[in-house]
Structure 1
Amino acid sequence: MKFPQGCDRDRDCDRAGRRRRRPPALRAAAALPPLLLLLLLPRAAAAPLAAADSSGEAEPEEAAGRRAALPDCVRLARLLHARAAQLQEEMCEKFTVCKNSMEMLAQNNLNLPKVTEEDGCLLAGFDEDKCLRKISSGLYTFQTYLEYIQETFTSEKQNVQSLCYSTELLAHTIRQMVVNPDEVIIPDSATQESLRAKLKSNKNWIEKITTHLILRDFTSFMEKTVRAVRYLKNTRSFSV
């Protein structure tokens, strides 16, 4: 009996030679980029810092695990930055909502996360733990804003969904590198619902401008995130 091309008789096809359908979860996992699959795998890099010993130093294998996660974080951060920048260009082309276009109409109350000098992410006075806390907290906060974009930028809904998922993945990965992960601020459900209601109250004519501002600030946030995690990877990298 002949089976469809690429079909394994013992695993993929039934007795009649028809290809078995994969469960939805497996089909979704197979569609993920290799980088995301790598980050989803259990690994030492996802474990929080071990308690310091009497000398005040972390265990060597824990430090090595954190070093191993940094290249993945750099690649994923670059990917997020590129996707956000591309979505900005799509908005400009489709809706003529571009840089410096009608931004004065948007209410200046979005409170979008920003990386500032006080966050310890600049090369001068770099504070790795403080910076990672800020980045992870900011990425978690951006989640609700990105979900809003899914509803307003419907022509790019699939791309925005991917952006949301990857953002949460990076937020979680970086959070596990913080000395005390509980110090990372993750908005609770009440805060998220309040923000959703606030964003949805926008008039239709201001939705696209709000979407543009979110993408603009997210792109800027990711640019600074790329610099910070790349700096850690290339220099200090949680050295023992």
Structure 2
Amino acid sequence: MKFPQGCDCDHDRNRAARRRPPALRAVLPLLLLLLLPRAAAAPLPAADSSGEAELEEVAGRRAALPDCVRLARLLHARATQLQEEMCEKFTVCENSMEMLVQNNLNLPKVTEEDGCLLTGFNEDKCLMKISSGLYTFQTYLKFVQETFTSEKQNIESLCYTTEHLAHTVKQMVINPNEVIIPDSATQESLRAKLKSDKIWIEKITTHLILRDFTSFMEKTVRAVRYLKNTRSFSV
């Protein structure tokens, strides 16, 4: 009869099936060794690099603070000195009668709303105001360079240092693209408004620019020095 042969075949197949699990058990650890390292290691670099990038960004912004304090103090001192030179050489001083002339220059000023005062201090808002203000002052200072010719080199150095500080502070702003930098058309329009056919008016304008720039730098020194001392940057 053929029936028993069929049973023998089933029996052989069952024995073969029982032999397979040990072979699979031998291969399984190798498969796990190949698969597990990639699955376990994949998320780690992204998390670590993200945290390190944030730390490096904060450290970079803080590292620029001592340089900002030094440059701000230098600009304040030079502007004060140039004011004194204006008073001595042209008798255009703070208490002169000519100062009664209406001031429509719209020079940058640091106010309470800018977040630079110790009460209600807002570091990013303040830094944005400082950088934007310094970039705006560039056009005014170039006018001073053209009118205060006896101090042309000193004012040229003042312009260069102002631009350098503006750029340095801009890099510390969370969104640097939000810093306002006057375009060439705006600068040309402002230069045209500052010009006058009367020399004494240009001298007064020069004095007012230096006076307000000195005041702006005084508040800038206080703000960046406060940041340097507190290191209160948000991540």
Alignment TM class, shorter chain as reference: 0.7 to 0.9
Equivalent-residue separation in structure 1 for 2:105 and 2:200 (angstroms): 16
1:70 and 1:237 in contact (8 A); partners too: no
* Equivalent residue runs for 1:198-237 within 5 Å: 198-201=193-196, 203-237=198-232
Q: CA distance change for structure 1 residues 83 and 223 in 2, over 3 Å: closer, same or farther?
A: same
Partner of 1:25: none
Cα offsets for 1:183-215 (capped at 9, x unmatched):
110001110000001111352121111100000
Q: Of 102, 106, 116, which aligns to 1:111?
A: 106
Q: Report if the CA contact (8 A) 1:105-1:206 is conserved.
A: no
State yes or no: 1:171 paired with 2:171: no
Deviations 1:54-88 (A, max 9, x none): x9997111111111100000000000000000000
Distance 1:72 1:237 in 2: 17
State TM-score, norm by structure 1. 0.74
**In the alignment, which residue of structure 2 is the partner of 1:148?**
143
| Superposition deviation, residue 104 in structure 1 | 3.9
Residue 137 of structure 1 is matched in structure 2 by 132
Q: CA deviation at 1:106?
A: 3.1
Corresponding residue number in structure 2 for 1:102 = 97
What CA deviation, in whole Å up to 9, does each residue of 1:97-124 have, x standing for no partner? 1112134453321000000000000000
Once the two structures are superposed, what CA deviation does each residue of 1:95-152 show, in whole Å capped at 9, x if it has no partner? 1111121344533210000000000000000000000000000000000000000111
**Rg bigger for which structure?**
2
User: Considering only aligned residues, what root-mean-square deviation do their CA atoms show, in Å?
Assistant: 2.0
Amino acid at match of 1:207: E
Task: Supply the distance in 1 between the matched residues of 2:114 and 2:197 (Cα, whole angstroms).
Answer: 31
Partner Cα distance (1:106, 1:203) in 2: 13
- Unmatched 5+ stretches in structure 1: 1-52
* Structure 2 CA distance for aligned equivalents of residues 103 and 68 of structure 1: 44
2:70 to 66, 71, 75: 75
2 CA distance for matches of 1:221 and 1:58? 33
Please, what TM-score do these two structures have when normalized by structure 2?
0.76
- Give aligned pairs, total: 187
CA distance in 2, matches of 1:205, 1:58: 55
1:27 aligns with none
- Asked whether the 8 Å contact 2:114–2:129 carries over to 1, the reply is yes
- Secondary structure, aligned partner of 1:176: helix
